Amino acid sequence: MNFNLFTDVVQVARQEAEAGGFTQLKTAEEVENAFAKKGTTLVLVNSVCGCAGGIARPAAAYAVNHDKKPDQLVTVFAGQDKEATAKAREYFKGYAPSSPSFALLKDGEIKTMVERHEIEGYEGMDVVRKLQAAFDEYCE
């Protein structure tokens, strides 16, 4: 793959997450600081695969337009910001590394995840419903 093309694809993926309201976490320290905050945090584990761009990122942006939603929206980029992604995954106890995926934390503790196998091959609204059901259960 042409390096410039790949760089462009990564940049677009980052911009789509930010446009959806997600703050990028690029270092382990940024992850620790974000996850130390009280309340609920939705983590988008972003990637450049087709199901990230075609399903996960659009579903994330849509899902947060809900009565109950997380206090904080953050993203780490698998394969790009390796240190941040590895640190985030330390918090996802009981779940295998998966990207794209979503983790919902409350007070820094994992409550649930929507893993790649629950995204890939599904319709975007299926993922929205999964996320919003988690928001209903864990967010105020």
When computed from its CA atoms, the radius of gyration of the chain, rounded to whole angstroms, is: 14
Query: Which residue among the candidates 43, 48, 49, 128 is catalytic per the annotation?
Result: 49
For residue 64, the tally of other CB atoms under 10 A from its CB is: 18
Residue at token pair 């590394």 = 97
Query: Which residue among the candidates 17, 31, 51, 60 is catalytic per the annotation?
Result: 51
Task: For residue 138, give the nearest of 35, 32, 39, 37 by alpha carbon.
Answer: 39
139 catalytic residue (yes or no): no
Q: What residues are annotated to the active site?
A: 49, 51
